[in-house]
Amino acid sequence: MIGLAVLGATGSIGRSTLDVAARHPDRFRVVALAGARDVEGMRALCGRFRPAVVAMAEPAAARRLAQGLREEGLGIEVLAGAEGVEAVAALPEAAFVMAAIVGAAGLRPALAAARAGKRVLLANKESLVMAGALFMEAVREGGAELVPIDSEHNAVFQCLPPGSRPGQAPAGVRRIILTASGGPFRDAPLERLAAVTPEEACAHPNWSMGRKISVDSATMMNKGLEVMEACWLFGLPAERVEVVLHPQSIVHSLVEYVDGSVLAQLGNPDMRTPIAQALGWPERIEAGVEALDLVRAGRLDFRAPDPGRYPCLGLAYAAQRAGGTAPAILNAANEVAVAAFLGGRLPFTAIAEVIEDTLAAVPAGPADSLEAVLEADRRAREHAARRAAA
């Protein structure tokens, strides 16, 4: 029986992970859960899965959860704060850790899981965007297994030669091609984008995702972050990681080899597929996903992304090439700008403007320590918040 800890348990990835695990009760035991502030959601999960330990990043939420669990007579230990979440990530009973906390908040717990030698099911791309060198070093030194969960990176993982190692360029690979749906505005008139609403931006045409990542998909910043993540995961420079629009979201990514072969992973747009692959690897396990019907799909379309429609993608490539703390600065500015947009304080098209301005205003330095990365993150957030409020 494999002990499983799920960080970000009440989010979409966390719930999908628990759905897959519940289909294999003879194989997985949920030993720990972690979340931020969704007390009722976590309380329901505790009632169903009965973990030994739960952590809530928000201390007030932890207190409310502890009270609710006592009322139900559930003897579950409740930890509070960022330290509690990190403790769950390194729990000895958890061999597998799903790292699905959104944004920069997921960095420290993912590092804790890597240092503890877990199989890290990495759904928090910011861990590599912000601190790629530090994270990969933690994986090596901790003896961790790293399996990517983003559908695109998991697709690449499945298409690589046997024996490929995280962070090392795979033998014979010419380039990686990440597919992108293009979000809900891929065909909208450019002059309409300034007036789009958060509700429209969060209405993804193919995937069911949280609000922040849905906006990132609409701006294609999400794909930019995935380019950065791919560089670290697969040991390739940014110029060998390309992006193509694929509206159907059936081909999840492709790997081109030097002999001209191109391998692709296909499937319905359901995150339970990469989650099941990562949980079962090197075996295959049931995910509860509907079988792909290519005849019903009818066609697979591809086209290049328009830089004028998706300026965030270009900003991400530029930050990756700049290196150091530039990716952390970009990520922080994006999180602030997206929050301002979702809060009705910033137009959709100004998200890229805030990011570009922050990259120009906040000097990048070496990302040689976690402290340096977090300091760059702090300075970028402060500048982006001022810029978004102007």
- For residue 126, say whether it is annotated as part of any ligand binding site: yes
* Angstrom distance (rounded) from CA 279 to CA 2: 10
- For residue 286, say whether it is annotated as part of any ligand binding site: no
Tokens coding 128: 């590599």
- For residue 137, say whether it is annotated as part of any ligand binding site: no
Distances (CA, A) of 71 to 10, 53, 59, 68, 151: 21, 17, 19, 5, 39
- For residue 249, say whether it is annotated as part of any ligand binding site: no
- For residue 199, say whether it is annotated as part of any ligand binding site: no
- For residue 125, say whether it is annotated as part of any ligand binding site: yes
* Angstrom distance (rounded) from CA 76 to CA 91: 14
- For residue 222, say whether it is annotated as part of any ligand binding site: yes
Cβ burial, residue 76 (10 Å; 0-12/13-18/19+)? buried
Distances (CA, A) of 18 to 5, 42, 194, 323: 10, 12, 38, 36
Q: What is the DSSP string of 202-250?
A: T--SS----HHHHHHHHHTHHHHHHHHHHHHHHT--GGGEEEEE-TT--
- For residue 152, say whether it is annotated as part of any ligand binding site: yes
Any idea which residue has 């069911």 for tokens? 208
- For residue 12, say whether it is annotated as part of any ligand binding site: yes
- For residue 10, say whether it is annotated as part of any ligand binding site: yes
Q: Strand 53-56 relative to strand 28-35: parallel, antiparallel, unpaired?
A: parallel
- For residue 242, say whether it is annotated as part of any ligand binding site: no
- For residue 153, say whether it is annotated as part of any ligand binding site: no
- For residue 226, say whether it is annotated as part of any ligand binding site: yes
Q: What is the DSSP string of 144-179?
A: -EEEE-SHHHHHHHHHSPTT--TTSPPTTEEEEEEE
Contacts of 357 (CB under 8 A, 6+ apart): 383, 384, 387
Q: What is the dihedral of CA 276, 280, 285, 288, to 10 degrees?
A: -20
Residue ranges for the binding site for NADPH?
Answer: 10-13, 36-37, 124, 126, 210
Residue ranges for the binding site for 1-deoxy-D-xylulose 5-phosphate?
Answer: 125, 151-152, 181, 204, 217, 222-223, 226
Residue ranges for the binding site for Mn(2+)?
Answer: 150, 152, 226
Residue ranges for the binding site?
Answer: 10-13, 36-37, 124-126, 150-152, 181, 204, 210, 217, 222-223, 226
